[in-house]
A and B are shown apart, each in its own frame.
Chain A
Amino acid sequence: MQVGLKRSTLVSEELERAQDGNILSRTTLSLFYATDFADQLENIILPALKAGFIVLADRYIYTLMARDMVRGMDETWLRNLYGIALEPDTVFYLAVEAEELVQRNLAKNATLDYWESGMDLGFSRDMFDSYVQYQTSMQAAFRQLQKSYGFTIVDGNRSVDAVTRELRKKIGAVLVAKSAVK
């Protein structure tokens, strides 16, 4: 089973439209994403887990929390908000330098996304500068969250094959623990 951000039946269209219009203030943005997450949590993630599936989440509450922290939202408020979520059995944080991220993004899309560049924060009117500054702040927020949630940090600067080999090895350990429960 796969889930990700902005994929809920409930609010994904409205959230997309609001982001296009660039009219979201920070608490609204935060709660909109939380609603999107909760819809998938209760309608997809929890039923799948109960049925014994492995759920792969492309981003989870930590990305949402980090984005909001960079936008000045209170960490205690966010912890309460996302208190609804189950803690994953494993969280992999793929650490990549901001300079490398910008290159990968441009190679893929030839442009930088407004929100992924944190343009709403007004770091810089230059999108490239803003992107690098925003991603650097995001990394600081993840480091802050890492202290309490203990993500497994994976060096994402390496090749696809090297990263996937490491992930498989680590996921193997989670699966062994799961079959031990049965």
Chain B
Amino acid sequence: MKTFAELNFPGRLIAVEGLDGSGKSTQIYLLKRWLEAEGVRVYFSEWNSSELVKSATSKGKKRELLTPTTFSLIHATDFADRYERHLLPLLRAGYIVLCDRYIFTAFGRDIVRGCPPAWVRGIYSFAALPDLTFFFKADLEVSLNRILEGRPKLKFFEAGMDLRLSSDPYESFRMFQGRILEQYLAMSRTVRGVRPRSPGWSSGWRQPDMPPCRWG
């Protein structure tokens, strides 16, 4: 797999990855505003936001119709639609594309749900790697507290209830997020030349001039 720069695209793609509550969405929003103020042509794309696919995903989630396989495939469809209709043409036109979650989100979640890793990675092999990926490595407790503050109502799949880890949504969410964090950490270990920029929860992992991940 190659990055957009390695594929000679004039644009660049920057992705943020991490758990819910790790601070990535806040930071990418600030990054977008900063780049816009600098006069850079920027496009922002969020996980699970394709106009074509969204209603099916939301129906599947509300009615609890999704299995690990269809959960994976419907998110891949959503990603493919955004990738082919928005990201590729914009990157060809020289835009800086900011992605709130990229393929690594699918690798983490789908594998935790029990999809075979090689199958999931094979499906996403049509996508080029980001030119830069920030992994927001926050402590599990910090992320959990940010989300669970005020005891919001957790949705079925959001809490990982389909995994039957616990009948309590909050407990299930904790266990589910913990497993996803393990996946992220395992992925970040396969990254070349990466080290935390500064200690503490807010440190993104930055990797200059290198493709962010290497898959076996």
Contacts and interface: CB of A to CB of B under 8 A. Distances in A.
Contact of A14 (B56, B73, B122): B56
A42 interface: yes
A14 B52 contact: yes
Interface string B27-47: 000000000000000000000
- Grouping DSSP codes into helix (H, G, I), strand (E, B) and loop, the A interface class, with mixed when no group exceeds half, is helix
Contacts of B69: 38, 41-42, 84
Contacts of B122: 77, 80-81
Interface in A14-51: 14, 17-18, 23-28, 30-32, 34-35, 38-39, 41-43
Interface string A61-94: 0000000000000000100110110000000000
Contact of B80 (A9, A23, A28, A41): A28
Interface residues of A, number: 28
Contacts of B53: 11, 14, 32
Interface band, chain B = 20 to 34
A17, A31, A80, most chain B CB atoms within 10 A? A31
A121 interface: no
Given A14-B52, A18-B52, A42-B67, A28 B73 contact: no
Contacts of A32: 53, 77
Contact of B74 (A11, A17, A42, A80): A11
A80 B116 CA distance: 11
Contact of B77 (A9, A13, A17, A31): A31
A9, A11, A80, most chain B CB atoms within 10 A? A11
A57 interface: no
A12 B60 CA distance: 12
A163 interface: no
B65 A31 contact: no
Contact of B70 (A27, A42, A77): A42
B119 A27 contact: no
A35 B85 contact: no
A10 B56 contact: yes
Contacts of A42: 67, 69-70
B139 interface: no
B65 A23 contact: no
5 contacts: A10-B60, A10-B70, A28-B81, A38-B69, A43-B67
Interface of A: 9-11, 13-14, 17-18, 23-28, 30-32, 34-35, 38-39, 41-43, 77, 80-81, 83-84
Given A28-B80, A31-B73, A42-B70, 18 more contacts: A11-B74, A13-B55, A13-B56, A14-B53, A18-B52, A24-B52, A24-B81, A27-B83, A28-B85, A31-B76, A31-B80, A34-B73, A35-B74, A43-B67, A77-B126, A80-B118, A80-B122, A81-B123
